[in-house]
Structures are given as structure tokens and as C-alpha cells.
Amino acid sequence: MGDKTETVSFGPSRVARKRLHRMYLLAGWAVGFAAFGGFGWAGPAGSQATSGTQAKPAPDRSFEFSIRGDFFAGLAGDHKAMERAMKACEEALARNPKDPQALVWQGGGLFFRSKESFMAGDRAIGMEMRDRGLKEMDDAVVLRPDDVAVLIPRAAIVLSAAQHVPDAARARQYYQMAMGDYEKVLRIQAGDFPSFSVHARGELLGGLAEGWHGLGDAEKSRQYLLRMAKELEGTVYERKAAEVLSKPETAGPLGVTCQGCHLGSAQKE
């Protein structure tokens, strides 16, 4: 019996602590995932181009628009909505097994839901779902390595996971993946970036600041915070960046993303 007792014998029960931990973990993931829902990753004139190159057609986001309402409701705890979103992904992949957007969204859903299995004690199932989710997101990026409509969802998902996963090595892997995707997105969007919405710019720059902070590169993180403060003057993103810059460096998430998701005043579409 002594082997199974908690080292702390007061406060909430073991079951209560487990439930609270699960609630905080899933809530943190859901908030982070929701951040990429408003990214304006198509150019303002319907183009996606790097500076000095011919404009390319904007990615077709019809599939994303058809499922993301259910997907984000699922992240907030609506299991039936998540089932509908996952079913839509399955049906799209039945029609075309190499549909990159269906792959990245289904992979993200599996990756998110794996945490529910872990927290329920189904470690084997959790690992299987997590690994399958990662593979599907990776496969989507292999199919469309320069499609920001695929890069951004994977980056947002693994960045959110990196901020909550307890395994330091795995967290670093997720941070590195997210930064690779986000840095590429920033290069692809460089020509049109200044004309994107405040929310789109703030979430991308904030995501980069968060990720490099998580990887321990304080200078790179600082440079993106400075860009937020300069390029998003008068918005919630400037205020959040200035707040972080004014304080000594600390561990843990900076808290500069998922601002415009819930604060309409931060957006200028």
C-alpha cells in the first residue's frame, strides 16, 4: 500500500487532482489549437507569393471552412462535433487518400484526442493515436511542403503540445517542428505580410516568439517580440509583447498568442 500512496497527504484527492490536471491540459491544448483558426494565410488579393516571385493562387480552404466549426467545438469539449469533423476527414480521405488538408486536420484531431486516452490511463492507445496523428500531419506536409494552409495547422498543433507535454525531449522535438513550419510560412508570406490582418500577423509573430523561447533562444524570441511591438502598434499584441519585454526572462509560455481569437478589437480584416 505504501508504494501507491501519494507523497502529499492533504489537499484535493488523487482523483480530483487527476481530473484537474486533465482539464488544465486539454484546455491549454484547445486554446492553442484555436489560435490558428483565424490565420489569414491567403494573400489579400487572393494570392500567395514570396517577394519578387510571381503570385500563386491562394490555397483552396473550402475543406477547412467546412469542418473547422465542428473541429473547434470538439476542442472545447463537444465530442459529437469532433466526431462529425473526423468523419468529414475520413470521407475526404476515402475519396482522395492524399488530400493534404484532410490529412493534416485528421492528424491534428487524432493527436489531440490521444491526450484523452493518456489521461484515461490507456497509454498504448494514446501512443498509437499520437504517432498516427503526427505521421498524418507529416505526410500532409510532404505532399504540400509549401502550402501554408497545411504548414500552419501542423505548426500550431505541435507548438501547443510542446507547451504542455511533460517530456522535455519530446517538447523540444515539437518546438523545432513548429519553428521550421512557422519560419517557412513567414518566408512564403513575406511580400504580402504587412497587409494581412492584425490577428494573422500577431499570431504568427507571437507563435515564433513562443517557440524560440521554448527552445531557449532568448534573442530570437526577443526579435519577434520587438517586431510585434513595432508592427502591431496600438493592438493587444503590442501590449502583450511590451509586457513580456519589460520583465526578466522566465520559463514557461510567454502568453502572447491566441489574442485576436477572443478579442475582436485586435483584428483589422
Q: Which domains does the chain have, with CATH numbers?
A: 23-36+61-167 (1.25.40), 189-260 (no CATH)
Output the pLDDT for position 259: 65
Is pLDDT of 260 > 70? no
SS (H, E, C) 65-80: HHHHHHHHHHHCCCHH
Nearest CA to 235 among 193, 197, 188?
197
**Which whole number is the average pLDDT over 257-263?**
59
Q: Which residues contact 249 (CB under 8 A, 6 or more apart)?
A: 218
Nearest CA to 33 among 69, 6, 72?
72
DSSP 86-124: HHHHHHHHHH-TT-HHHHHHHHHHHHHHHHHHHHTT-HH
CA angle 262, 84, 34 (to 5 degrees): 20
Percent of the chain residues topping a pLDDT of 90:
59
Nearest CA to 109 among 125, 87, 141, 139?
87
Residues 48, 55: contact at Cβ < 8 Å? yes
CA angle 224, 169, 139 (to 5 degrees): 75
Residues 235, 199: contact at Cβ < 8 Å? no
CA angle 194, 45, 141 (to 5 degrees): 80
**Which whole number is the average pLDDT over 13-35?**
46
C-alpha cell at 107: 492528424
Out of 58-67, 179-188, 223-232, pick the least confident.
58-67
Determine how β-strand 47-48 pairs with β-strand 56-57. Answer: antiparallel
**Which whole number is the average pLDDT over 206-221?**
97
Q: What is the pLDDT of residues 50-70, one digit of tens each?
A: 444 455 566 677 888 899 889
Q: What is the pLDDT of residues 89-133, one digit of tens each?
A: 999 999 999 999 999 999 999 999 998 888 889 999 999 999 999
Is pLDDT of 189 > 90? yes
pTM: 0.78
> Distance from first CA to last CA of the chain, Å, rounded?
60
- Separation CA 164–CA 114 (nearest Å): 14
C-alpha cell at 228: 510585434
